[in-house]
Structure 1
Amino acid sequence: MPGPPEPLIDACQNGNCVLYVGAGVSAPAQFPVWKTLVEDMMSWAGSEMSMSPSLLQAVEGAVQAGEFTLAADSIVSELQSGDELEHLHAYLQHIFDRPADLTPLHQLFRELPLSAVITTNFDRMLEQTFPEAGDRVLTPHDTERLLELSAKREFFIAKLYGSLDRPETLLVSPAQYEDAIVGNRQFAEFMESIFVSRTLLFLGSSLEGISAYLEGIRFRGGEQQHYALVAVSGSAWKAKAAMLQRRYGIQVLAYPENDAHPEVYAFFNRLVNEVKRRERASSRTTATLKRVVLENIGPFEHLELELTNTWNVLLGDNGVGKSTILKAIALAMCGRDAKPYANRLLRSGTRHGRITLETNQGRSYATDIFMSSRGIEVESRPVGIMEIEGWLALGFPPIRAMSWRGSFGPQGEPALQRPTTNDLLPMMSDEPDPRLDEVKQWIINLDYMKRTADDDSQHDRAFYSRLQDQFFDMIRTLTGELEVEFAGVQPEMWQVMVRTDDGLVPIESVSQGTAALIGWTGLLLKRLYAVVGDMENPMQAYAIVLIDEIDAHMHPRWQQSLLHDLSKLFPNVQFMATTHSPLVVSGMQADQVFRFERDAEGRVERIEVPQDMLFGRADQILTGRGFDLLSTSDYETQKLIQEYKELVRQSHRKPAADDKAAQPLEHRIATLEAQLRQRLPTPEEEPVKRRAIELIDALLDETLSADLPEAKDMLRDRAQKLFDELERQPERWR
């Protein structure tokens, strides 16, 4: 048989291979394979249990015909109806709950850097092989924990048919397993996420067994390649192998059927040697969100966006779909959990829309929103993008504020958690974000743990103290000179107290803009520590943040520095935000800014923003391609400018002989010039410098006659140069 394929070696080398272990792997240790187990169960049920002769005869007929799955289902169904399953569980413990020496093949398993092991076996040989798995030996009853470990790429053993230590988890027949999957959508999505994000290697199972396992979780494969090492005979297997390749991307690595199966050991021995021979990748690179495609979503018939892995800021008038883009990304990540909000995104007059997210590593995730006889439906393929990619993604609606609702007392040490759709759903609801109060509770918990942590805690007291300091250091960086310092927790009402320029106040008393900033950045920090708290510095982790109106309630000075400060604090977070502020986008790269406007027919289109339109003063950016304002002057000044321009055009059209008629026109033009001189400031940015230039202009007007414009311009230029020199070298003028 051929050696291990290169993609399989690469998957093992990079810790991306999941081993699927069937009963054939434990057969050398004298544990029964499926056929033998069903025959033994039939004999036991006939002699030890009250199975009717007619049913026993039917089961025997099924076994003789090779219908072992049907036979097992019949036995389990009969015992289930008689409330005698506990006897079957005891029988299984008698067969499988015994010590056994590891086989040479199991020893080879230990040499591979596997991502996980999935098995239908009841014996404990895999637990013996990987003792480091510890409490990470899980069943379909432990879906939440499986999702957490999968997202973090931590090793686990998944026992699909349950564990002998937990009889309530045991599943004996394929029908029981299929029923369990149908009743546990979250587990089915977990299995699909494993299938589309890892490379599976099937071992110890027949082609029929592999097909039954895959059909039980009811999904088709994607672009991921998988492998099955299978003993075969005759030629009928080729059609089954072709079906597995076509439907699930499983390449069958066939070898002649025999009793000893030496080909399996030789294959794994070579696989281990090949992996060892190569330098293993130090870590798997986290993918980033690279491309978003919307079809019939919001105002967009078709939209494609190529994202940067740092900042992506959306500009445009109200009603052009900026918030819709953020909500569409959130919905695609949430899948069915966002179904209550899906009808808000479907384009008017259409019955089907699609959101496609693509990573920089080439993986694609499509979510369809469509109308059916049951109403709005949401289907994602593959499901569970956050679980597959291991992404933490958070979404923040435009209204972000802390409430005065009281906090609870200390709630102890939070356990590590996984990313969930609850991190994104508040963005979809169009309601004020309710999560910002969680930050207050988190501060209370940190304050408690920094004083009470002991040897049984996850971290020492210094860790919680540093984390609390890190939170307030972050706020200090974002708010500049504003004083917001932690002053303690008031235990009577469990209020977080902060020291501000106004004295000691509850944290809820800070301004709306400060509270919003504390809330959403604090929640980001909290979730990073909850999900990747085992990293040396979770602030260095990758995450996706979707935030609507990032500049809301913020002073212009904060808006100017916000993006720079956030990038410094969270260098690997990918932000996607909307704004109406020129100060936010000032100095950004053109590929980080996306502007939308409606054309003459009312269709929304993307407008390219030239790089030079993102540099300069705020008024220059506002009148550039990023915002397309005609003027930054107030409304009354714009009316005066328009009148002035119109009168000047009229004066140019008057005949020279009509001097008397032109006098009122010239008087009005002179009046407007005087008014506009007062209303339109000089282009200097600093107020003191601007006032000085205006004073010089006034002195020049009084001193020099109107027929000496060149002299006035020369003196004004000289004054400007002196001001510039003073700015460059102020010490020379002291």
Structure 2
Amino acid sequence: MSTLLEIREQVVKFLLERHSQEKEAGREFYFTVEVVQDTSILYEELIGKEFIKLSFYGNWGESPITYLIIDEKERIFLIAQFNNASDETENSVSRRLALHLSDQVSTYPELHLIDGHIIGYSFEFSFEIVNSTYFKEKLDYFLDTIRPEINIFVYPLKIDTKYSYYFLNRQQFEDYLKTEPFYSPQVIIIKKNLAIKSLRVQNFKGIKQLVIDDLPASMRWIILTGENGFGKTSVLQAIAAGLYGNKDESGAELVTDSSFIGVEYYANDTVVETNSRTPRLDAAPLKLTNELATYGSSRLQVSASVTKEMIEQQAPTTYHLFNSDGLLLNVEQYLKDSYYTDKPAFDQAVSLFKELLPALLNIDIVVKNKIPEVRYFEKDEEGKSLTAGLLFSQLASGFKNIIAMIGDLIYRLSIKQNVDNFSELEGIVIIDELELHLHPTYQKLLPEVLSKHFPRIQFIASTHSPIPLLGVPKDTVLLHVTRNDDKGIEVDRLDVDFSVLTPNAILSSPIFGFKDLIPDSKEPDRMIHSETTYDEVTENRELRSQINQFLSPENQQELLKLIKEK
């Protein structure tokens, strides 16, 4: 039988692994573990003995609200208690939680009631978790089934900074880890200024043999072009799988054994090489676990109102690029959490969205029936508010696309990298169909703003539109994707200086290869306007009109006479 010290070591390692999994999925998970002798409401035979105490919350009033106790026999007890407070909100939450806990006796056979009573707004309950003989399975049961239900009842406290003491925060967790004897900080390879150097692919989703070499370390954008169905998405997926690994967090296979993907990437002055055949866990220091975000062509669905299991399945780092039903991390949850716990982060996010969407006046949190809602305020050309505040579901698709994708990006990367400013975020971000749902104004603005606010991120994106090229840096690498039966998907690196080209010239260049620039509706006897802008077209029309008015029959004869005399 294990000693209490050995059990504590296993518990700490188990919870640290859970913390890493939750952090990788973009969620918070904090805890503390300590040895105590507080067993006054457990079995009488256990009074006075030492126990391991697991806390997942802070202090509510004078005493913890819920925590776990583990004894030397690896039994796990759930303790819940609260003393009547003078605060109406605390008492209300306490009453509803107490009634819920009292219902657990008949609802969950996995919980064995030891003792429990409710007096006014005070309560005390103690349960033994009996779903398994293995303490790890008992912990999983609590974390996956019981704790989410408790969170539902205590959430009204989280939206008010007045009750922040109730919730463990990152600083408290880090302070605890400094004193935890069974915690060893991981040795992490510093991966700053990341950029792709080369890509080698064999037998992957229509790619028979593909080599892209010697990409410069300084480039912050790679743009892929090519016709529909020619394989741009396959190339993006190959890059993602090479950087991340052969399987995603949920265990789903990204690359089969018959395929091979090798990637070299710059990390500062070092070139790191990795490939899809090395298991992700075995090559963790080489993979971009905390520095990668990927986005497929369906970006309007966020992870609101779904179960935890669905989020874990549909929001892994690479899932969205490989599956059409992928969900983005809930940016509104990030906005609400940061509004109440990290106002500078909230202000940063709002400022970023306003720059990305010039028609957005503001984003604010409105509390209705004690539940916070995110409201979006749009403005007219004079800067006046157009609405009383819209819900996310009421926004136009272009707005939702940008808010959902960029919200996921800052949520996903910031929670993994623990930065204070978005400009400090590092990594590689892959986007399929960058221009999706966007007006040309926003197609140009999006890469401009992303380059400005995320200088340490490399963006790799596909597009069918020439407009995003008006907003990317001049040193952007252009890759043109083609496909044929014999060689499969191929990629050519283009040497085209698009910085001096208009959209028409970009369209007709090798970047897009679109030659049919004349509208089908043009009448045979009419001239095509070749001016650069529509303002020039209207100006020239006015000049021609004035010339025609001046050239009366008499003036025309006089002009012909002068020409002949010359």
Shorter-chain TM-score category? Answer: 0.5 to 0.7
> Any conservation in 1 of the 2:378–2:387 contact (CA below 8 Å)?
yes
Cα distance in 1 for residues equivalent to 2:402 and 2:23: 31
1:389, CA displacement in angstroms?
5.6
- Residue in structure 2 matching 1:327, options 219, 237, 240: 237
1:582: Cα distance to partner? Answer: 0.3
Give a deviation string over 1:70-100, Cα, whole Å, max 9, x none.
Answer: xxxxxxxxxxxxxxx34xx48xx8xxxxxxx
Partner amino acid, structure 1, of 2:220 = T
Letter of the structure 2 residue corresponding to residue 353 of structure 1? S
Paired AA for residue 275 in structure 2 = A
1:303 aligns with 2:196: no
Matches within 5 A, 1:274-423: 284=190, 286=192, 288-290=194-196, 291-300=198-207, 301-305=209-213, 306=215, 308=217, 309-332=219-242, 333-337=244-248, 342=253, 352-360=258-266, 361-368=270-277, 379=279, 382-384=282-284, 391-402=290-301, 422-423=315-316
Structure 1 segment 446-465 matched on structure 2, within 5 A: 446-449=338-341, 464-465=342-343
Q: 2:387 aligns with which of 485, 503, 526?
A: 503
Corresponding position of 2:540 = 693
Question: What is aligned with 1:611?
Answer: 496
Superposition pairs for residues 652-691 of structure 1, below 5 Å?
Answer: 672=524, 674-675=525-526, 677=527, 680-687=528-535, 689-691=536-538
Structure 2 contact 290–413 (Cα < 8 Å) conserved: no
Shift of 1:288: 2.0
Matches within 5 A, 1:527-542: 527-533=412-418, 535-542=419-426
1:384 Cα deviation from its structure 2 partner: 2.5
Tell whether the 8 Å contact from 1:590 to 1:614 is kept in structure 2 after alignment: no
Give 1:548 deviation, angstroms: 1.0
Q: Do the aligned partners of residues 581 and 307 (structure 1) sit closer, same or farther apart at CA in structure 2, a change above 3 Å counting?
A: farther
Q: TM (normalized to structure 1)?
A: 0.46
- What are the Cα deviations for residues 183-232 of structure 1, in whole angstroms up to 9, with x where unaligned? 9xxxxxxxxxxxxxxxxxxxxxxxxxxxxxxxxxxxxxxxxxxxxxxxxx
Question: Shift in Å at residue 299 of structure 1?
Answer: 2.4
Which residue identity does 1:608 align to in structure 2?
Answer: R
Q: Partners in 2 of 1:435 and 1:421 — Cα distance? A: 8
Mapped to 1, the partners of 2:398 and 2:211 lie a distance apart of: 33
Gap regions ≥5 residues in structure 1 = 1-84, 94-121, 123-134, 151-163, 171-182, 184-282, 369-377, 412-418, 450-463, 641-671, 713-734
Distance in 1 (alpha carbons) for counterparts of 2:454 and 2:509: 30
| Secondary structure class of the residue paired with 2:283 | coil
Q: Which of the residues 463, 469, 473 maps onto 2:347?
A: 469
Counterpart amino acid of 1:324? S
- Could you tell me how far 1:425 is from its partner in structure 2? 3.1
Question: CA, structure 1 residues 489+315, in 2 after alignment: closer, same or farther (shift >3 Å)?
Answer: farther
SS in 1 for 2:199: strand
Equivalent residue for 2:513?
628
Is residue 428–residue 459 contact of structure 2 (8 Å, CA) maintained in 1? yes
Could you tell me which residue of structure 2 aligns to residue 571 of structure 1? 455
Q: How does 1:220-231 map to 2 (within 5 A)?
A: none
Deviation readout 1:361-417 (Å, 9 max, x if unpaired): 23211113xxxxxxxxx955953256x666421111111114696699xx9xxxxxx
Larger RCO (CA under 8 A, 6+ residues apart) = 2
SS at structure 2 position matched to 1:363: strand
Kept in 2, the 8 Å contact 1:391–1:544? The answer is no
Deviation of residue 537 (structure 1)? 2.1
CA distance change for structure 1 residues 136 and 701 in 2, over 3 Å: closer, same or farther? farther
Secondary structure in structure 1 of the residue aligned to 2:259: strand
Tell me if structure 2 keeps the 8 A contact 1:397–1:432. Answer: no
Name the residue aligned to 1:30: none
1:515 counterpart = 2:362: no
SS in 1 for 2:298: coil
Deviation at 1:322, TM superposition (A): 1.0
2:357 aligns with one of 468, 479, 495:
479
Query: How many Å separate the matches in 2 of 1:601 and 1:465?
Result: 57
Q: 1:521 Cα shift?
A: 0.8
In 2, Cα distance between equivalents of 1:707 and 1:385? 85
Change (3 A) 1:380 1:530: closer
Q: Secondary structure at the match of 2:230?
A: coil
Where is the helix percentage greater, Structure 1 or Structure 2? 1
CA distance in 2, matches of 1:492, 1:326: 43
**CA, structure 1 residues 610+474, in 2 after alignment: closer, same or farther (shift >3 Å)?**
same
Amino acid at match of 2:210: H
Could you say if the C-alpha distance between residues 684 and 611 of structure 1 is closer, same or farther in structure 2, counting changes exceeding 3 Å? closer
Cα pair distance change 1:169/1:582, threshold 3 Å: farther
Q: Which amino acid aligns with 1:424?
A: T
Are residues 589 and 294 of structure 1, via their aligned partners in 2, closer, same or farther at CA, if it must alter by over 3 Å? farther
* CA distance 1:559–1:697, change in 2 (3 Å): same
Give identity over the alignment, percent. Answer: 17
Provide the residue aligned with 2:328 in structure 1.
435
CA distance in 2, matches of 1:337, 1:532: 19
What is the Cα deviation at residue 555 of structure 1?
0.9
Deviation of residue 618 (structure 1)? Answer: 0.8
The aligned amino acid for 1:364 is E
Question: Residue type of the partner of 2:348?
Answer: Q
Alignment check: 8 A CA contact 1:400 1:520 kept = yes
Counterpart CA distance in 1 for 2:515 and 2:500 is 18
**Alpha-carbon distance change, 524 to 428 in structure 1, aligned in 2, over 3 angstroms:** closer
Higher strand share: 2
The one-letter code of the counterpart of 1:304 is I
Shift of 1:542: 0.8
Q: 2-side partners of 1:484 and 1:701: how far apart?
A: 51
**Pairwise CA distance, 1:469:** 1.3
Shift of 1:597: 1.9
Maintained 8 Å contact 1:485/1:499: yes
- Distance apart, 1:583 and its partner CA: 0.8
1:584 aligns with 2:458: no
Q: Which amino acid letter does the alignment assign opposite residue 585 of structure 1?
A: L
Does the 8 Å CA contact 2:314/2:320 hold for their aligned counterparts? Answer: no
The structure that has the greater radius of gyration is 1
Shift of 1:569: 1.0
Q: Find the counterpart in structure 2 of residue 424 from structure 1.
A: 317
- Give the whole-Å Cα distance in 1 for the aligned partners of 2:249 and 2:19: 22
The CA RMSD measured in Å over matched residues stands at: 4.4
Q: 1:708 to 1:612 in 2, by over 3 A?
A: farther
Give the distance between the partners of 1:526 and 1:690, measured in 2 at CA. 46
CA contact (8 A) 1:334 1:421 kept: no
The answer to whether the 8 Å contact 2:193/2:457 transfers is no
Letter in 2 for 1:330: A
Shift, 1:329, TM fit: 2.6
Do the aligned partners of 2:223 and 2:463 also contact (CA within 8 Å) in 1?
yes
- Give the AA of the match of 1:326: L
The equivalent of 1:454 in structure 2 is none
Per-residue deviation at 1:335?
2.6
Q: Cα offset for 1:544?
A: 1.8
